[in-house]
Structure 1
Amino acid sequence: MSVSRCWAVVPAAGVGSRMQAERPKQYLPLHGRYLMDHTLETLLGYKRFEQLVVVLSEQDPYWCDSEFAGDARIIRAPGGSERCYSVLNGLRALQDLAAADDWVAVHDVARPCLRHSDLDALFGALQNTAACGAILASPTRDTMKRGVLHADGTVAIDHTVERTQLWHALTPQVFRYQELTQALEYCLAHQLEVTDEASALEQRQRSALLVEGRADNLKVTRPEDLALAGLYLTPGK
C-alpha cells in the first residue's frame, strides 16, 4: 500500500498543570525559544507533510509570539477540553483538504526532540502493509510492577508484570484520515475519552503497528523533563 499525502496535527491546547509553571508548558523557554517552536520546526522541516494543523486554546495569549504564528503552512484549529476533542477538531480543520486515505500524523507538542529519522521509520513501516496505521513506541526496559492503592494512600506492589511485550507509546501516531476521524467520533459518541489515537482505533478492533523510536523522544511533563530535553537539544548533540 503506497503512502498517500501526509498531514500533521499537533494538539497544543493543554495547560500542563504538572509543570507547575506560570504558563502552558509548550510556551516555556528552551534554548531561547518556545518549547513548541522546536517541535514545529521539526515537523515543518519534514518534506512529506503538506501542512500542519496546530490546535490551540481559543483564549491562548502566547501563540502570537511563536516563531511560526504567521507561517502559511500552519492551520489553526480550536482546542477542546481533552486531547481527543482537540485532535478531532484538528482533523475537521482538514476536511476540505485531506482525502479519506491520506495519512495524518498526530504529534504531542511537548515532544520537541523528535528526529526525522524516526519519521522516516514510521512512514517506511506503512509502505506495502495492510495495517491501519503505526505509532512510534519504545520497548519497556525496566522491571514493571503493578501497584495496589491502600486506604491510607500508600501504594504497594501487587505483582511483577512481564515486560517482554510492553511498550511505551510515543508520538507521532499515524492513521488514515477518514478512519481516524470516524474512530474518534465513535469514541466520543460513546463517552470514551481515549488518551491516544491508537486507543481510538482499538475501540474499533483495529490494531496499529509498533515502530521502535528513539528513547530521547521524551514528553515534557514535569520540570526535570524540560532540563533533559534541553540537554538532548543542545547544538552538536
Structure 2
Amino acid sequence: MSKKIIAIVPAAGVGQRAQRDPADQPKQYRLLQGKPMLRWAVEALLADSRVDQVRVAVSAADPQAAAALQGLDRTVFRPCGGPSRAHTVLAALEDADLAHDDWVLVHDAARPGLPLPALSRLIDVCLAEGQGALLAQPVPDTVKRAGAQPVPETCVLTGAAPAAQPAVAVVAQTVSRDGLWLAQTPQMFQAGVLLCALQAALQSNKDITDEASAVELLGVAPRLVAGSVRNFKVTWPEDFELMEKWL
C-alpha cells in the first residue's frame, strides 16, 4: 500500500523583512494578482495529485487563514504555530499524526512561484530512492564573506579624529562557489525521520534554518534536486512586484 504524501506550510510568522511599515499585514496574506500569497503557495502544492493533503500551520490568533484558503480541496489549516519555524513544523507534524514512513513536504508560504515540474521532480526522486531531498539551485554568483569595517586611524599630521563614516560592510573573503547550492522548498522527508530530527535539534538548542539542516544533524545526507528560479522566496519589499511578474 502506498504511503501518504502530506504537505505542511508553516505560516505563523509575519515576515518582518518584507514589511515597509510595522503595520503591514503578515506577508503571506499580501495579495499577488488578486490572491493571497499563501493561497498561491498552497495551490502550487495541490497541482501534483500525489499530494494527499496540505496542512497550513498558523498562529492561534490568526484571523485570515479561513478566508485565504476558502474552497481549496485537500487543504486544512491548524492553529498550531510556534515561536519559530522549527517549532511550527514540529507542532504540525505532531498534529497530523502520520505513520513513520509517510512522506512530508514542507514548503514556504513565501514561495508562491513553485512550478509543477520542480515539485514533481522532487517527489519522483524521494519515492524512487526512498530518501529525503530538497529543491535547490547551484550558486551562480561570486560569493563574498563580509567582515568588520577597519577603523581609520587618527590623522598623524593634525591629530584630528577621522570624520564619521556611514556603517557599510566590507569584503573579508571571496568564497569559492564550487559545490554551493541555494536551498529552496519544498523539502521532503519521511515523517518519522523529520519528527526525530526536529525534536533532537530543538532539545539541543541547535541553530537550524530549514528542515534539511535538522535532518543533517542526524548524519543523513539529503538529496539535492534541481529547483527553479521562479521558486524564489519573497523576502524583501521589492520582491512582491517581481513575483507578480512571474505569476
| 1:210 aligns with one of 224, 237, 243 | 224
What is the CA distance between 1:41 and its match in structure 2? 1.4
- Other-structure match for 2:89: 87
Indicate the residue corresponding to 1:149 in structure 2: 148
Looking at structure 2, the residues matched to 32 and 120 of structure 1 have their Cα atoms a distance apart, in angstroms, of 26
Look up the SS of the partner of 1:49 in the other structure: coil
1:99 and 2:113 correspond:
no
CA distance in 2, matches of 1:85, 1:156: 35
Which amino acid letter does the alignment assign opposite residue 146 of structure 1?
A: R
**Secondary structure at the counterpart of residue 215 of structure 2:** helix
Q: Which amino acid aligns with 1:207?
A: A
- Equivalenced residue count is 229
1: CA distance between counterparts of 2:240 and 2:203?
36
Partner of residue 122, structure 1 = 122
Query: Counterpart in 2 of 1:220?
Result: 234
- 2:161 is aligned to none
- The verdict on how the C-alpha distance between 1:82 and 1:65 changes in structure 2, with shifts beyond 3 A counting, is same
Whether the aligned pair in 2 keeps the contact of 1:77 and 1:93 (CA below 8 Å) is: no
Task: Tell whether the 8 Å contact from 1:3 to 1:103 is kept in structure 2 after alignment.
Answer: no
Q: Is the 8 A contact 2:134 2:184 kept in 1?
A: yes
Moved more, 5-14 or 35-44: 35-44
Cα separation, 2, equivalents of 1:40 and 1:130 = 24
Deviation of 1:129 (Å)? 2.2
The aligned residue for residue 230 of structure 1 is 244
**Residue 177 of structure 1: which of 185, 188, 191 is its match?**
191
- 8 Å Cα contact 1:3/1:127 also seen in 2: no
SS in structure 2 of the partner of residue 78 of structure 1: coil
Q: CA deviation at 1:160?
A: 1.1
Q: Distance in 2 between matches of 1:42 and 1:198?
A: 21
Give the distance between the partners of 1:129 and 1:3, measured in 2 at CA. Answer: 14
Change beyond 3 A, Cα 1:73–1:28: closer
Question: Which amino acid in the other structure matches residue 203 of structure 2?
Answer: A
- Say whether the 8 Å CA contact 1:53–1:93 is kept in structure 2: no
Range that drifts further, 41-50 or 194-203? 41-50
Structure 1 144/70 Cα, relative in aligned 2: closer, same or farther at 3 Å? closer
| Displacement of 1:72 | 5.7
Task: Give the root-mean-square deviation of aligned CA atoms.
Answer: 1.9
Q: Which segment drifts farther, 121-130 or 186-195? A: 121-130
Q: Unaligned regions of 5+ residues in structure 1, if any?
A: none
Name the % identity: 39
Residue type of the alignment partner of 1:150: Q
Q: Distance in 2 between matches of 1:168 and 1:174?
A: 16
Q: Deviations over 1:157-180 (max 9, x none)?
A: 111111120100000000010010
- State the 1:111 CA deviation: 0.4
In 2 relative to 1, CA 182–77 (structure 1 residues): closer, same or farther, beyond 3 Å? farther
How far 1:29 sits from its partner (Å)? 1.0
Rounded to whole Å, the distance in 2 between the matches of 1:69 and 1:26 is 18
Structure 2 distance, partners of 1:140, 1:70, is: 35
2-structure distance, mates of 1:44, 1:74: 12
User: Whole-Å Cα distance in 2 between the matches of residues 33 and 109 of structure 1?
Assistant: 13
How many Å separate the matches in 1 of 2:61 and 2:207? 23
Mean alpha-carbon deviation: is it higher for 7-16 or for 41-50?
A: 41-50
**Equivalences for residues 1-237 of structure 1 within 5 A:** 4-20=3-19, 21=21, 22-68=24-70, 73-95=75-97, 98-129=98-129, 131=131, 133-150=132-149, 153-233=167-247
